[in-house]
Structure 1
Amino acid sequence: MGALEEAIDRIREGAVERERDRVLPFEQLGWLRDAGFGALRVPADAGGGGADIVALTAALVDLAAADPNVPQALRGHLAFVEDRLWAPEGPDRDRWLARFAAGELVGNAVTEIGNVTLGAVSTRLDTSHGGYAITGTKYYTTGSIFADWIDANAMRPDGVEVAALVRRDQPGVTITDDWDGFGQRLTGSGTTVFEAAHVDAADVFDFATRFPYQTALYQLVLVAVLAGIAQEAERDAVHELRTRARVFSHGAAATSRHDPQLLEAIGRLSATTAATRAITLDAARVVQRAAEARGADAATVAEHKRAAELAVSRAQLSVTELALRQTTALFDVLGASATSAARDLDRHWRNARTVASHNPVAFKARIVGDAVVNDAEPPYEWYVGVPPKGAAS
């Protein structure tokens, strides 16, 4: 067993207790650092694992099965690694790849709530000695509380939107674990406040130059989390049925583990697990082809960008439906005893429902349908905010 597999097995141990007691997985993320997970996509000659996106996604599914909070907490990190892999060869790229290889992690700070106008960014960068000072408040800053760096979007003094990489451990950066969702409660998706925190000029990048398939990759991570939740729901159902001593008088066998109706239910869970994993990895292959288009002409890059977005949107539609069905169906196998709070089996549905609510699936079927029927371009950037004054209702 490799270091990553060992780390995933260790992460599974105590996952239920961490969720029940709201213990953030600082230690568990440390195990992943030591196993080189944060540098899995970094080329081997730069000190990383040299994995492609398909291999990364397979690892994410297994990690999500052990604890779905952990891969979601790494979502911003994985996206910024991909951004630096796409960047032109040179000292900036090399510096960041070396940081990843050394185990440094990146969090995420994009969303602003309240009366922010749709698409607007109120966080700003002001010129300061040796670089910039960043000021603003971000919400849903997934993973930042665990990270060494925070990838924050902001407006530069010249009015250009940029990505500013902010050292987390410095004056002027405050992170609060105040996410109050009923699922995925350990992802570190709280509030981050920047109060004139320092940003080196070399760590500021025009947002327009981000890797082109970023929305597809961000969403692929969440699809992988859903597939992992489905996988663990089956695992828990199998364990509970194997060890169950009690039977129903109106059942179809002398032992629960040999009851044909319950075995049929387990078989359906197993089929769903296989389907969600296959769908997720198939979408990952399309995203990998988009990554391989680095250096190609603009038309080729755009073609693969579109294909990746639509592939992941289709996967989101399918895997969301399957995972939510899976996390409900496991209770049909186990009966009322499965609702015991000590078992915490409801965590699978709560976590799946929470993940599925990100970048809402409700809009994806229309977007895919419009692309298929009318050759419409899917959106590649999503915003949440108050409509501009005068916007059509």
Structure 2
Amino acid sequence: MQWGLQCFPLDWSLPMSISVSPPAKAHVIASDAEAIEIAKALAVRFAEEASVRDRDRRLPVAELDLFAASGLWGITVPKAYGGAGVSYVTVAEVIKIISAADSSLGQIPQNHLGVLDILLHTGSEEQKRYYYGKALEGWRFGNAFSESKSKNVGAFQTRIRFEDEHAVVDGEKFYCTGALFAHIVPAVGVDEQNRPFIAFVERDNPGLTIIDSWDGFGQRTTASGGAVLAGVRVPLSAVIPAYKAFEEPTADGPISQIIQAAVDTGIAHGAFEQALIHARLSRPWVDSQLDHGWQDPYTIAAIGDLQWRLHGTDAILAKAGRAIDHALRSPSEESVAEASVIVAQAKVLSAEIALLASSKLFELAGTRSVLGKHNLDRFWRNARTHTLHDPARWKYHLIGNRLLNGILPPRHAWN
């Protein structure tokens, strides 16, 4: 049976709230093609008021309910557990499509998808059945991973200790994208041996406080604020040993990174489409002796330059997805390293084209394009903000060190 938007009516006048309603029964997607079809339909809907949401910082609660109900949040659940188990070529394409319409909505599922992959590598069969089942039902997983006060992004001050049949987590988190909207908030804490574990914390756990403190100038409606975990208690059945995902070669790092690259590629597509629209409306330069801005040979050349760069990024993003799929089928030091390198290439190209397209948009459209009513600066603000997730300069190093010296990329969530 085909899934249709008419099955999930959306009232755009709904008041925004940070309360999280029980999930609606989600559609279960059956194939890669269906996932892409649904993403395209949703993107049309999400694009309608993307600028308004950004301008007013209107949190996309209703949109996320529609997004999760569509089944797209469950597409990576393996077929053995009832999901479509789509390729990562498709995952990247879905995130790219949604991000072109609204990059905040494209970013919010990133940790949900990452957690589902870590679960695959480190969860027990009982945990996989339970949490994959929740994902297929429409439950959203947020995150309480990163910390703003630790030495670096891979260091954690949050502690987890084990008491009989429970684990207790204490700490403070930031950059908690998706947590405000989540039904379950996976939280990372380290034990006495500094090994990271993930505790699946129910959103209404009395020790968990989600703080809507994100005030970045870009990705404004991701609500990527903070979380405080004060004596949070969960049963041992809600804890997985996340460190094991990197003790052996797994595709967890490349999976995390390809989602970042897909968001940036989507931003570039959105900016490019606006560049086409507004460049056609621009006035010709006085020295050109032309009648219309779209006749300007320099504008035409710039559009052509942007398009081939964007198409090249699309191609390397798809190649990265294929490398991840290969690493999942045949995990080894070589296959995971190859996936990391190709995903790094996608990360470099996507960051470059997102920043370039969102800047060239104004150059080609002219002065009137900066008027506040258009809010076109959201593409650059979103690109500049999201491309800071992890530095592209280190991706160049990763690629070159592998090619020149044969050095395998370090295994962690940022490679």
Q: TM-score, normalising length from structure 1? A: 0.88
My pick for the range that moved more, 181-190 or 86-95, is: 86-95
Which residue matches 2:125?
90
CA displacement at 1:204 relative to structure 2: 0.8
Structure 2 unaligned runs (5+)? Answer: 5-36
Distance in 2 separating the partners of 1:357 and 1:245: 32
Confirm or deny that 1:217 pairs with 2:255.
Answer: yes
Distance in 2 separating the partners of 1:167 and 1:193: 14
Confirm or deny that 1:275 pairs with 2:312.
Answer: yes
Distance in 2 separating the partners of 1:120 and 1:200: 25
Confirm or deny that 1:353 pairs with 2:353.
Answer: no
- Of 169, 190, 193, which aligns to 1:155? 190
Which residue matches 1:62?
97
Which residue matches 1:132?
167
CA displacement at 1:124 relative to structure 2: 1.9
CA displacement at 1:256 relative to structure 2: 2.8
Contact in 2 for aligned 1:46/1:101 (Cα 8 Å): no
Which residue matches 1:336?
367
1:37-76 paired onto structure 2 within 5 Å: 37-44=72-79, 46-76=81-111
Matched letter for residue 186 of structure 1:
T
Contact in 2 for aligned 1:75/1:218 (Cα 8 Å): yes
CA displacement at 1:14 relative to structure 2: 0.6
My pick for the range that moved more, 339-348 or 151-160, is: 151-160
For residues 78-115 of structure 1, what are the alpha-carbon distances to aligned partners after superposition, in whole Å with 9 as ceiling and x for unaligned? 11112233457722211121111001111122222326
Confirm or deny that 1:306 pairs with 2:337.
Answer: yes
Which residue matches 2:322?
285
CA displacement at 1:184 relative to structure 2: 1.4
Which residue matches 1:240?
278
Which residue matches 2:46?
11
My pick for the range that moved more, 185-194 or 123-132, is: 123-132
222 and 245 in structure 1: CA distance in 2 versus 1, 3 angstrom threshold: closer
Distance in 1 separating the partners of 2:332 and 2:161: 34
Output the aligned Cα RMSD.
2.4
Confirm or deny that 1:197 pairs with 2:197.
Answer: no
My pick for the range that moved more, 304-313 or 125-134, is: 125-134
CA displacement at 1:319 relative to structure 2: 2.2
CA displacement at 1:346 relative to structure 2: 1.6
- Of 347, 369, 378, which aligns to 2:409? 378
Structure 1 unaligned runs (5+)? Answer: 294-299, 384-393
CA displacement at 1:56 relative to structure 2: 1.0
CA displacement at 1:155 relative to structure 2: 2.4
For residues 145-187 of structure 1, what are the alpha-carbon distances to aligned partners after superposition, in whole Å with 9 as ceiling and x for unaligned? 1111122111246764311111122211111121232211222
Query: Which aligned runs of 4 or more in structure 1 are off by greater than 6 angstroms?
Result: none
CA displacement at 1:130 relative to structure 2: 4.7
Aligned length: 376
Distance in 1 separating the partners of 2:123 and 2:206: 32
Q: TM-score, normalising length from structure 2? A: 0.84
Contact in 1 for aligned 2:282/2:365 (Cα 8 Å): no
Which residue matches 1:169?
204
Distance in 2 separating the partners of 1:118 and 1:333: 38
129 and 11 in structure 1: CA distance in 2 versus 1, 3 angstrom threshold: farther
Distance in 2 separating the partners of 1:251 and 1:280: 38
Contact in 2 for aligned 1:36/1:48 (Cα 8 Å): no
Contact in 1 for aligned 2:257/2:413 (Cα 8 Å): no
Confirm or deny that 1:265 pairs with 2:302.
Answer: yes
Which residue matches 2:290?
253
174 and 336 in structure 1: CA distance in 2 versus 1, 3 angstrom threshold: same
For residues 184-224 of structure 1, what are the alpha-carbon distances to aligned partners after superposition, in whole Å with 9 as ceiling and x for unaligned? 12222111101112212111111222272222111111111
Contact in 2 for aligned 1:124/1:135 (Cα 8 Å): yes
Distance in 2 separating the partners of 1:230 and 1:5: 16
Distance in 2 separating the partners of 1:278 and 1:196: 47
Which residue matches 1:388?
none
